[in-house]
């Protein structure tokens, strides 16, 4: 009997020791989200358009070409997007002045760059004067003469995932006489030319001569 009690007591003590020494399993932690899920692609459907096929100039920011009378002009486009065609057109018109100012600066920058070709030795010294001229041209050119020559509009459905919206895209094309731009360049250059050192004047004047020979460009 005593042996039985000793054995029972030993088993109880062993059970207590085992239960105290065991450790609970840690709770499972969900993996963090990577946050890299891609947004649904946007699909564009043109439901209606004013002209088919779409005119080539609609997606051109600007170009230098000739109008119906054969005069050299600077063409530019502006566009608006609204829920009605009338509002889209008004928005496009409101961008005319800012867009034309931007285009004039781009035209002047490119033409000066083309005219400077072959003058690398003096490029650094002359750049300061040319940049001052370009800034003056874009500010002072008379943009009131830019005429609306063509219009184009689209009625568009835009779909992304389960959502969609419809709106009008209205694009207006304007033309400004190239001579107006040339006059602005000349007027802007005159005060700047007085600041140029004598040893650079001849090369600077050559650049101005090259500007008058600039060919047609587009962007």
Per-residue pLDDT of the chain (219 residues; tens, 9 = 90+): 555 445 445 555 555 444 545 445 555 555 555 555 677 888 999 999 999 999 999 999 999 999 988 999 999 999 999 999 999 999 999 999 899 889 999 998 888 888 877 665 545 678 888 889 898 988 878 777 889 999 999 999 999 988 999 999 999 999 999 988 888 888 888 898 888 888 888 888 877 777 766 544 444
Which residue from 217, 207, 215 is spatially nearest to 115, judged by alpha carbons? 207
pTM metric for this prediction:
0.72
- Four-residue CA torsion sign, 5, 8, 12, 14: positive
């Amino acid at each position: 009997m005593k042996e039985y009690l000793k054995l029972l007591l030993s088993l109880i003590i062993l059970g207590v020791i085992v239960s105290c020494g065991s450790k609970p399993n840690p709770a499972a932690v969900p993996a963090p989200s990577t946050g890299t899920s891609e947004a649904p692609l946007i699909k564009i459907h043109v439901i209606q358009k004013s002209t088919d096929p779409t005119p080539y100039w609609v997606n051109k920011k600007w170009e230098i070409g000739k109008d119906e009378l054969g005069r050299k002009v600077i063409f530019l486009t502006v566009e608006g997007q609204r829920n009605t065609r009338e509002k889209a057109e008004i928005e496009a018109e409101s961008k005319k002045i800012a867009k034309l100012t931007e285009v004039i600066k781009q035209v002047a920058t490119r033409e000066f760059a083309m005219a400077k070709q072959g003058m690398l030795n003096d490029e650094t010294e002359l750049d300061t004067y040319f940049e001052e001229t370009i800034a003056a041209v874009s500010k002072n050119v008379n943009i009131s003469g830019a005429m609306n020559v063509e219009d184009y509009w689209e009625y568009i459905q835009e779909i992304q995932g389960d959502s969609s919206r419809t709106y009008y895209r209205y694009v207006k094309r304007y033309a400004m006489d190239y001579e107006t731009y040339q006059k602005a360049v000349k007027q802007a250059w005159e005060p700047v030319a007085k600041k140029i050192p004598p040893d650079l004047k001849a090369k600077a004047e050559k650049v101005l001569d090259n500007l008058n020979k600039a060919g047609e460009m587009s962007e």
